[in-house]
Amino acid sequence: MGQDGANEKDQQIEEFGQVTLEENGEKKKIHLLTIIGEVEGHENASGNSKTTKYDHLLPKLAQIEDDSSIEGLLVLLNTSGGDVDAGLAIAEMIASLSIPSVSLVLGGSHSIGVPLAVAADYSFIVPTGTMMVHPVRMSGMVIGTSQTYEYFEMIQDRILSFVEKHSNIAYDQLKRLMHNTKMLTKDLGTVLVGEQAVREGLIDEVGGIRDALKKLREMIR
């Protein structure tokens, strides 16, 4: 690779957390996508927050689908969650790609990070990685009417239905984990660590970057 190509890759990593891997022995062209920090919606997060901007990722995913030279997608996740609509939009885009995709949960993939992790064709989590499932939260003014609670239920159903479709956990079991009152002292929900996420059916396998790349190359072949 020339110096210009190396500089371009460094810039892609620095600005967007993305790079195309193509120096491997099998010459497979794999695009690496990172989802870190908070998933931003229509409003920008504070300047001190690490964020993933959906208005960057959606066009990039469309470009990946349109690029016939890219053979696979690897998604690295370490996210605290964020905007529900933005997260589901990214997850739907990943799930609808025609190329093989693999996700790897590193530090954690919490809240809306759960559908993002299971959107890939196959998913990994490192042994110390965590998945947090909890009910939908809303910030700002909430009107205490039956319509408001029905709206909350509708949003929650969208998340539960997507995760059930793209993983091996049943809708009702995920809902039970989401409304668990025994684990978190100030909230509802469940934290699953590494192997626990696999046993519950959220994630396919415990592994690291070597395992994720190996699996993706097998899927490409």
Six-digit token string for 212: 């994720």
Given a contact cutoff of 8 angstroms between Cβ atoms, the answer to whether 197 and 203 are in contact is yes
**In residues, how long is the chain?**
221
Catalytic residue numbers, as ranges: 111, 134
* 124-157 burial code (b ≥16 CB/10 A, e <16): bbbeebbbbbbbbeeeeeeeeeeeeeeeeeeebe
Q: What ranges make up the beta strands (E) of 60-183?
A: 72-82, 101-110, 122-125, 130-133
Pairing of strands 101-110, 72-82: parallel
